[in-house]
Structure 1
């Protein structure tokens, strides 16, 4: 186990890349109902205390966290979206996450973008968060079957937990910069120098007839021809 983050350290070459359904059913649902998780890959944080770039993990990697939602006002239902030096702003509408086996909605997904500063005057950043929550009470995601001889109580939800996937969006200019060194030279820009050419009396360069004359094949040191077929005439350059 890694002491700094408390997260499972995966072997080199392995990546934690679950689907939306797996995040909701295998991780978030188990977290909400206080059941054992498949692994200790996702840890708990208080998202309101951090800027996204200060979270554990590399900036080029996707990071996953459990966050216990807090109400913005004591008597309201709106969540507190303040975090670090800015706030998370929702973009678009929530999207349902359906079970691939039964087609039923098991969770909801909302996309957020991080802004530095205060609301209405904040500066947009490249940091993005996908927030996952369980579906409503009518969804099978809110019912966790109790196994026989189980020592864990998996029948009562334990807090308003959400699962967050946070990453830094790569700008188009960065992508262009990465591929700039891979540009190929157009064929019409490539010039070939004929080292076998001859110079005419007027100083112009004449291509060698070896480009079209098969008699210019040279012999190798063992006396055989360098080509697939030998020619009866010996090259004048041999």
Structure 2
């Protein structure tokens, strides 16, 4: 793949990266967690929870700000050192889980897909924005403190995230701050 002078991935005209849930998990997430190479660097590695969502499109490997979806590998931070509860605070807001978790893969689920919505401000009085992300994490991974002590990749289990900005309903906080 061709990289521009700033290190950004330069994709050919008409290229669209739109994998299915199964492709995203089986080819990209499983390979990344297994330390295997990925043929093309189309997913950037970014700690999502250090940034507001409107700052992330510029950090994406492909598509940039004009794309409708962005994909990232991100470590999962923990709220408490010995717990498995994720820390979803991000910049000036937080990501809140919504809806039921969905299994990915059949007949046996390989991963779990979770939908999250970004709220500006502090809980519980945050203002809902029009940013949504889908977090994919491997299903059969032991996230206990004992398992983390034994593992070389002990502190963080990687996940892959598909992020997009919804049109229509939702507060316009993200749009106002990105201007």
| Deviation by residue 1:53-106 (Cα, 9 ceiling, x = unmatched) | 01112165200000011111112211110011100000012100114xxx3211
> In the TM superposition, what whole-angstrom CA distance separates every residue of 1:142-189 from its partner, at most 9, and x where no partner exists?
xxxxxxxxxxxxxx884400001110001169xxxxxxxxxxxxxxxx
Q: Where does residue 146 of structure 2 map in the other structure?
A: none
1:15 aligns with 2:19: no
- In the superposition, the TM-score normalised over structure 1's length comes to 0.59
Matched, 1:79 2:53: no
User: What SS does structure 2 have at the residue aligned with 1:58?
Assistant: helix
Correspondences of 1:195-214 after superposition (within 5 Å)? none
Do structure 1's residue 89 and structure 2's residue 96 form an aligned pair? yes
The structure number with the bigger radius of gyration is 1
Which residue does the alignment assign to 2:161? 164
TM-score by length of 2: 0.78
Question: RMSD over aligned Cα, in angstroms?
Answer: 2.1
User: Which residue number in structure 2 is paired with residue 112 of structure 1?
Assistant: 116
Corresponding residue SS for 2:9: coil
DSSP 3-state at the match of 1:130: strand
* CA positional deviation for 1:2: 3.6
Alignment of 1:40 with 2:41, yes or no, is yes
Q: Secondary structure at the match of 1:166?
A: strand
Structure 1: which 5+ residue stretches go unaligned? Answer: 139-155, 174-238
Listed as ranges, the gaps of 5+ residues in structure 2 are 59-63, 143-150, 171-179
Q: Residues 183-222 of structure 1 correspond to what in structure 2 (within 5 A)?
A: none
